[in-house]
Each structure stands twice: as C-alpha cells, then as structure tokens.
Amino acid sequence: MNQNNSKLIRINKYISNSGICSRREADKLILKGKVYINNKKIKTLGIKISNQDVVKIDGRVISIEKKEYLLLNKPKNFITTLDDPENRKTVKDLIKGATKKRLFPVGRLDRNTTGLLIFTNDGDLSKKLTHPSYKIKKIYHITIDKPIELNDYKTIQNGFQLDGDEIKVDRIAIIDENKKNIGLEIHIGKNRIVRRIFEHFNYDVKKLDRVMIGPITKKNLKRGDWRFLKDSEIRLLKNFSWD
C-alpha cells in the first residue's frame, strides 16, 4: 500500500465508491479474504490505500467510478430488485440502457407501490437516504378503501405501537372531502411501513404513491419514465436536513 500519497482512503470506502457494494458488505468481503491489494490478500479492516494501489475482488480489478444518480417514477407491477429468479418484471427493466454503470436502487418500493425511486452507485448517499438516523423524509399519497376515522387519524398523528415498535410519523393530512386520500410524511425505513400502518387500523390500501424524497419531487416525470438528477438536486440531497 502506498502510504506516501496524502489522499488516502479506507479500503471499504474505496470498494463502496466503486459501486460494488456498501461499506458494510465490503468489510465482509475483506474478512472472507476476497480482497487483494497489489496482489496481496488482506483480511484486516480499516486499511487505507491511495489511487496508485491496485485493488482486486475475486480476481477482478476495481476502480472508483464516476457517481451517477437516476430518478425513476416507478409504475405498478415492477419489483425493486436488479435480478429476479422468477423472471418477474423488475425496475432494472425500466432503466435499461440508461447507463453502462451498475446502479443500485436506494431502498425499496413494493410491487404495487408507485412513485419515486432513486438509483445510484454512491454508497454514502444511499446510506444517508435510507438510514432513519439521517431523518430524510419521504412523502406518500395513500388512497384507502373507506373514510379514515377521526380516532385513527389522531392515533397515527400522535404515535402508536405497531408490532412492538413505536411508530411516529412526521405529518399526516386528509387531502380530499371523502377522507379516503391521505398524505403521509415519514422517515421510518421499515419494510412496508406505510401499508402496515393503515392495515393496522383495518384499512385496505388501494393506492400508494411516493411523491417526494427529501427535496426531490415527481414534477414533470411521467409514470414509468426516468431521468438523471441535476447537479443542483444532487447537492440538495447530499446537504439536505430537516433540522
């Protein structure tokens, strides 16, 4: 390892920046002995390297990629994965040909949920957008099968227990007269959390649409379409805070 270069980077961050996997997964690869630096196997975490060092994983040289950020307005009936053994339609099909780089979806939207989904090879930003400690809020538009009861509305608003966890939303609002369309602002990242909230109160979620991630909205992006984020939007995401 070249320790004379002033621009040193931890090996797990280097691997993450290459778009291979997250830092945590990179640490697992190191401990399994799959990572080589300058043709020497390493199994020690925290090693720092420079741009002159050659890193290989499973015999393949990796390098730090230019970061790319893509926004998809996901339609129904596509699952959030890059590969599916059952050959179902995936979000990868929707962005096919967008880039030669391997971009990963940030978080998940279940098969019947529509709306905003970000793809990137930036592991640091992905962590910021998904980990609840960063408090990146998401806004959803929910359509339920019957008018929401006032008591249920207030309980969701004030916080409640769900499967042993304390659930606290950031904001809830009724957005139509029949009280079947609800706006929900939340930063909790638990699996299917929005659907589970309403199912807990015996409502059937007919439609679920993510309309905002941090400061990013669906404006001018049709369902099923994608676009690359602007530099100004990337800066907003990286520096965004609700505090």
Query: Which of the residues are catalytic?
Result: 110
Determine the Cα–Cα distance for residues 229 and 232; give it in Å rounded to an integer: 8
Task: Give the number of other Cβ atoms within 10 Å of residue 208's Cβ.
Answer: 22
Of 188, 192, 195, 156, give the one whose Cα is nearest residue 174: 156
3-state secondary structure 87-143: CCCEHHHHCCCCCCCCCEECCCCCCCCEEEEEEECCHHHHHHHHCHHHCCCEEEEEE
Instruction: Quote the strand ranges of 153-204, DSSP E.
Output: 160-162, 165-167, 171-174, 181-186
Pairing of strands 114-120, 205-213: parallel
Do the beta carbons of residue 195 and residue 208 sit within 8 Å? yes
Residue with tokens 């993510």: 210
Torsion sign, CA atoms 60, 62, 66, 70: positive
Do the beta carbons of residue 114 and residue 210 sit within 8 Å? yes
